[in-house]
Structure 1
Amino acid sequence: MLNNKSYKFTIIDIAVIVFIITSISLFFSRMSQALDYNWEWGVIPSYFFFWDAVTGELKANILVKGFATTVKLSFWATLIGFLLGTLSGIMGAKGSFEQRFISRTYVETIRNIPSLVLVIIFYYFVSSQFLDVLNLDKYLRSSSQTLQQTIGLLFSGPDQINAFLSAVIALGIYEGAYVSEIVRGGIISIPNGQWEASWSIGLSRQKTFLLVILPQTFRTVAFPLAGQFISTIKDSAIVSVISIQELTFQGMELMAATFLTFEIWITITFLYFILTFSLSRSVAFLERKYALK
């Protein structure tokens, strides 16, 4: 049974909190004294939202747009990684020799290539050799305003759609290699008795896998998968090298324009922390709620 008693702070907890607060205070103090740095936090909120002088409306500014792009990029990369990794994991665990060889080759190749290199390769190969041929950006520019807004909301605008898709594919393939090993390990961990029990009641091998083994596998690996998906958010920062206007890229652009180095990067760090920490706490909550009693 889960312990529902309220948490009580210990001396160690209080000491840790005091240490963190003191360290942060010393950091800002030393920055002001040693570097003679003048903090200008008052301008940071204007980079989140601003009032449009023409329409009089409150509109999203560069940091909010970058944050939204990071969320979209991470979501689609996670979806591709999950689908590709699940397929590869199944092939690696219960496939034929050829399927296991393909899965192993994919996993070992991708896991031994730096993610940054993979993103650059896909940007110059997939985007220039395939996506440009499809003329997707030209099609969007000539399409209706409603379609452009919908695609922009889900993916990106016409100017960045090719680069955005190549980044999503590269990240999805990279994360899929790690998801593959998680799923493969989950399938292998299911006892053989589950197979035998299913066969004894007349289920075929295929139905046994789909109805019995796979659901148990996903329950077993749900939280390691969630952790991998959280890492996708952090890995998404590397696509700034191909000028995807996500949070890190927008932060670099803003820093170059304002020279507010520390204010900008502390804000960017805080935004990433909010996104990843909220997801990790949600996963921890679900893990406690659905843990086997």
Structure 2
Amino acid sequence: MTRPPAKAPAKTLAPVVLIDLAVLLLAGGGLAWLVLRAQATLPYHWDWSVLPQFLAYTAEDGSWRAGRILTGVAATVRLSLWAGALALVIGTCAGLMRVSQRLFWRLCGGAYVLFVRNTPPLVLIFLFSYFLSGQLISTLGLDAAVAGLPEAQRPLAEALFGPLRQMPGFLTAILTLALIEGAYMAEIVRAGVQSVEQGQWDAAYALGFSRRQTLIRVVLPQAFRRMLPPLTGQFVSTVKDSAIVSVISIPELTFQAQELVSATYRSFEVWTLVLVLYLALNLPCSLAARWLELRLQRSDRGA
């Protein structure tokens, strides 16, 4: 009669938890010491009481108005959402071009990716700004069309794109940022499509699917699950990279912070607030993507 195999001793997580807590305490203590040391040694008078008025203030008529920082946050959110959505479209198209069977499309997609990824973003910002704002938008008559919007449509347009007088520059920033981020998303899409096993293609062809049907119905749904983490990281990067359009005077969060620092000389307070706000914008995106990734994994195991 054989003995049943002995059960392995249950693993305890106590040492791991204690180590994690110790690391967190050390990191928190080091950060607190650094802040206190900076306050004690730097020849700078800290004044955190000035920050609330940068977020919101009371006008002369008693109504609440958004401050410069809050206005910049709204502009950053609008810019990131529009640029991220457009970059996903551009990146998906360029990524599919990169895996096309036709040499012409592969060359076009590869040229776009290589051009953008090997050029400094600041140079592209200035180049596209001069070309789009200075030439294309005026040629297309977009500025005149914006100025001629009916009064009933103006509130919706301002909610979507900000003040109408700034819309041509804002659209330029959206398109420029989307073209830059789209090149990186194109490589994510290409890698995601190529990661799907060849057997999936062969099985779809055996069922009578064309290449386009196979790509849409079989390959892309599987590739999307694998592309979700890097796409989320790229969208977070889009939110952070939106700060670069401040060099062409787009009134987003970084530009508003620069204006406040120039006017009030409260550098540490303003930039600390900006740091916290960027974290507040990006952390929910990362957590939502992680939740969606875990949900997709559970659905796969259930299937």
For 2:179 and 2:205, how far apart are their aligned partners in 1? 35
Shift of 1:181: 0.8
2:225 touches 2:296 (CA, 8 Å); kept in 1?
Answer: no
Gaps of 5+ in 1: 1-6
What CA distance in whole angstroms lies between the structure 2 residues aligned with 1:223 and 1:83?
17
Which residue is equivalent to 2:4? none
Could you list the per-position Cα deviations for residues 215-251 of structure 1 after superposition, in whole angstroms to 9, with x for gaps in the alignment? Answer: 2222221221111111111111100000000000000
Query: Structure 2 matches for 1:46-125, cutoff 5 A?
Result: 46-54=53-61, 56-125=62-131
1:128-167 matches, within 5 Å, as 128-167=134-173
Structure-2 residue corresponding to 1:287: 293
Alignment counterpart, residue 206 of structure 2, candidates 192, 197, 200: 200
2:43: which partner in 1?
A: 36
Is residue 148–residue 157 contact of structure 1 (8 Å, CA) maintained in 2?
no
**1:234-284, CA deviations, whole angstroms, 9 ceiling, x for partnerless residues?**
111100000000000000101111111100000000100111112112212
Residue 26 of structure 2 corresponds to 19
Aligned residue runs from structure 1 range 226-237, under 5 A: 226-237=232-243
Q: How does 1:247-286 map to 2 (within 5 A)?
A: 247-286=253-292
8 A contact 1:31–1:37 mirrored in 2: no
Distance 1:251 1:49 in 2: 14
**Counterpart-to-counterpart distance in 2, 1:109 and 1:177:** 9
Quote the offset at 1:71 in angstroms: 0.8
Match of 1:176 among 177, 182, 204: 182
Residue 9 of structure 2 corresponds to: none
SS at 2:177 equivalent: helix
Cα deviation, residue 15, structure 1? 2.5
Distance 1:200 1:141 in 2: 57
Counterpart-to-counterpart distance in 2, 1:227 and 1:203 = 33
Quick one: which amino acid aligns to residue 56 of structure 2? Answer: F
Q: How far off its partner does 1:213 sit?
A: 1.5
Quote how far apart the aligned CAs of 1:96 are.
Answer: 0.3
Q: Counterpart amino acid of 2:27?
A: I
Could you tell me how far 1:159 is from its partner in structure 2? 2.1
Matches of 1:289 and 1:111 in 2, distance apart?
33
Partners of 2:160 and 2:169 in 1: CA distance: 14
- Structure 1 residues 95, 75: closer, same or farther in 2, change over 3 A? farther
In the alignment, residue 34 of structure 1 is paired with which amino acid?
Answer: T
Identity of aligned residues (%): 38
**3-state SS in 2 of match to 1:94:** coil
Residue 164 of structure 2 aligns to a residue whose secondary structure is coil
Cα displacement (A) at 1:170? 1.0
Deviation at 1:137, TM superposition (A): 2.9
Match of 1:244 among 246, 250, 253: 250
Deviates more, 1:209-218 or 1:266-275: 209-218
| Residues 86 and 180, structure 1, Cα contact 8 Å, conserved in 2 | yes
Describe the shift of the 1:220–1:28 C-alpha distance in structure 2 as closer, same or farther (beyond 3 A): closer
Aligned residue pairs: how many? 286
Runs of 4+ off more than 4 Å: none
TM-score (norm 2): 0.89
Task: Kindly provide the CA deviation profile for residues 91-138 of structure 1, in whole angstroms up to 9, marking residues without a partner as x.
Answer: 111240010011111111110011111111111111111112233333
Matched, 1:10 2:17: yes
**Structure 1 stretch 62-71 or stretch 212-221: which is displaced more?**
212-221
Separation in 2, partners of 1:263, 1:276 = 20
